[in-house]
Amino acid sequence: MRRSKQQTRLRILDASFGLFWRQGFLRVSMDDIAARAGITKRALYQHFPSKDDLMAATLAHSSKLAIERLRSFRRSPDAGKFIDSFFADLSEWASKPKWSGGGFTRVVVELADLRGHPARTIARNHKTAVEQWLADGLAASSVSSPLEHAREIMLLTEGAMALMLIHGDRGYSQIAARAAKRLVGLK
């Protein structure tokens, strides 16, 4: 049975997502992705004319799914519970055996010298969407200056992810949650 173009495209995106997140964006070849997707390299290039196009499409697809997951979380109207839940989810995510930190941050680091790369724009847009989601949750919890506090929590989140990756200690997530609650005026 022949797969539709859309099915093949999703298969490629799934394959590239797995490889990019495990091995890094620059270390994965188009041959690796074609093999993982179970298609020929020629078929891969029919869907994505370059690795840069594939990276951008993979990140955009991943961002869409991640933001949908965030929006499906039920946010507590209690700011402390909202913050604790957010960082508990971060800790749970970091407990996965092959967790390798935040992919959107990693891609920007890998492409640090390529400021105009489309993947960097997608990563920035993703982080902005997460920040807005946090701000909306803080506003719903009646926290003053929700956008400013969301930006501070994003800093704590990025730091916690980096330190959990470096030390292998998920306790950094709890420390970040306590710091976030102090920032918004909670104990």
- Count the Cβ atoms, other than its own, within 10 Å of residue 146: 21
Q: Would you give the DSSP letter of residue 27? A: T
pLDDT value at residue 3: 67
pLDDT for residue 1 is more than 70: no
pTM for this prediction = 0.89
Alpha carbon distance 13, 124 (integer Å)? 20
Q: What angle do CA 74, 18, 37 make, to 5 degrees?
A: 125
C-beta separation of 79 from 131 below 8 A: no
Distances (CA, A) of 121 to 98, 108, 117: 26, 9, 7
Alpha carbon distance 162, 147 (integer Å)? 23
The secondary structure of 118-159 as a DSSP string is HHHHHHHHHHHHHHHHHHHHHHHTT-SSHHHHHHHHHHHHHH
Domains along the chain with CATH numbers: 1-49 (1.10.10.60), 52-183 (1.10.357.10)
User: pLDDT digit string (tens) for 93-116?
Assistant: 999 988 888 889 988 999 899 888
The CB-side HSE value for 138 (13 A sphere, CA atoms) comes to 25
User: pLDDT digit string (tens) for 121-175?
Assistant: 999 999 999 999 999 999 999 999 999 999 999 999 999 999 999 999 999 999 9
User: pLDDT digit string (tens) for 44-98?
Assistant: 999 999 999 999 999 999 999 999 988 888 888 999 999 999 999 999 999 998 8
What ranges make up the beta strands (E) of the chain?
A: none
